Amino acid sequence: MNKSLLALAVLGAFAGAASAQSSVTIYGKIELAAGKPTGTTDKQIMDNNTGSRIGFRGVEDLGGGMQALFGFEHRLSPDTGASTSTNFWNGYSTVGLAGSFGKVNLGRQYVAAFTHIQNQIDPFSGDTQAALRDTGMRFGGITKVRVADSIRYDFSANGINFAASVGEAPAGSPDRPMSVAVNYSAGPMFLGLGIENPEGANDNVWNIGGRYNFGFATLSAGYGKGSNNANVDAKGFLLGAVVPFGATDFKIGYAENKLDNTSLKTKRASIGADYNLSKRTKLFANYSKVGGGVPVGPKSGYSAGINHSF
């Protein structure tokens, strides 16, 4: 009860700030679907692995080209209303400075390789049960999405975007989680490269990928290679396409990965469509099929639902 009251008080404080300062933005995304994930026979109303969220970010002009930055993001399961983690601000919680030198943020935040390449290639944007990102670009349980107690630097110029992040080593881990990534985005073309050393003595991964908007379709491809803490090499790839037709975006993709100490490959093929009701609201439907022994259980999954961003 006390936690609920505290959460409401925090949200109320930010809402008041938003009305008083134009530099504070409230944003979010809610998505729910009816369907069945791969690996289960359970048909359900589900949050669809999309990271429904509410967040607050703000900027203060300090003069001389300097700005103060902050951001907090809460993740939730809208089908139950529960938080997705014991960390209330599980999405991120940062404060920092920006200027002609770039941006420096402190706190819990995304690693550089995730934002600049790993999350850029999947035609499903890492969302819904059809997502291909974790199969083709974040394979083998090696990579991280976010790190706590971290510092991150970002700089952008002439279409080139660079990022580097490093965090404190978690208790019992020999290394600090570190990542460096760069991408180039101009017009219809995107190219990216990232390197990550998550935190273990032996784990590491690198990713490369790109996409190109031909007008009639956007094609994407990505590849990654690394090793886990047991010194077992792993590699994966992802291919995808998004084809717009009126208000509908048709999506298709395939991803697979393999650990060198096994003959089994993890494979995933997905197809789907988004129907855009507006710039912020869409209906969607998708179907996916997995192979290679993962997961144990039914190999197909599907979902249909609605996504609203604000």
* CATH number for the domain that contains residue 59: 2.40.160.10
Tokens describing residue 22: 């134009």
pLDDT of residue 6: 47
Report if residue 13 sits inside a domain. no
Using the predicted structure, report yes or no on whether residue 294 has a pLDDT greater than 70.
Answer: no
b/e code 146-184 from CB counts within 10 Å (16+ = b): bbeebbbbbeeeeeebbbbbbbeeeeeeeebbbbbbbbe
In a domain, 8, yes or no: no
Determine, yes or no, domain membership for 159: yes
At residue 200, the pLDDT reads 82
Residue 274: its pLDDT value, please?
A: 98
Beta carbons within 8 Å of 51's beta carbon, 6+ residues apart = 29, 75, 84, 91, 127
Residue type, 149: D
Average of per-residue pLDDT across 221-236: 92
Residues 78-115 have pLDDT tens digits of 888 888 888 899 999 999 999 999 999 999 999 999 99
Collapsed DSSP state (helix, strand, coil) of residue 42: coil
**pLDDT score at 18:** 44
- Indicate the pLDDT class of residue 20, thresholds 50, 70 and 90: very low
9 domain-assigned = no
What's the pLDDT score for residue 79?
86
Let me know if 88 is exposed, middle or buried by CB neighbors in 10 A (0-12, 13-18, 19+): middle
**Does residue 47 register a pLDDT over 90?**
no
Position 173 scores a pLDDT of 80
What is the domain range of residue 89?
Answer: 27-309
Local structure of residue 227 (DSSP, 8 states) = E
Counting residues of the chain whose pLDDT is more than 70, the rounded percentage is 90
Tokens 């409401």, residue located: 8
Whether the predicted pLDDT of 161 surpasses 90? yes
Average pLDDT of span 240-246:
99
pLDDT, position 252: 99
User: Alpha-carbon torsion 286, 74, 43, 258, what sign?
Assistant: positive
Contact status, residue 32 vs residue 77, Cβ threshold 8 Å: no
- pLDDT band at residue 46, thresholds of 50, 70 and 90? confident
Domain for residue 289, yes or no?
yes
- pLDDT, residue 80, reads 87
Provide the pLDDT confidence category of residue 19 given band limits of 50, 70 and 90. very low
pLDDT grade for 284, boundaries at 50, 70 and 90: very high
Give the per-residue pLDDT at 40. Answer: 79
Q: Average pLDDT in the 135-157 region?
A: 94
The yes-or-no verdict on residue 9 having pLDDT over 80 is no
- The residues, ordered by sequence, that sit 6+ positions from 218 with a Cβ below 8 Å of its Cβ are 123, 188, 211, 212, 241, 242
What is the dihedral angle through the alpha carbons of 39, 45, 51, 53, rounded to the nearest 10 degrees?
-170
Name the domain count of the chain.
Answer: 1
- Whether residue 11 is predicted with pLDDT greater than 70 in this model: the reply is no
| Alpha helices (H) along the chain | 2-20, 112-113, 133-136
Does 10 map to a domain? no
Q: What is the mean pLDDT of the chain?
A: 90
Q: Does residue 254 fall inside a structural domain?
A: yes
In a domain, 232, yes or no: yes
Q: Which helix (H) or strand (E) holds 224?
A: strand 218-227
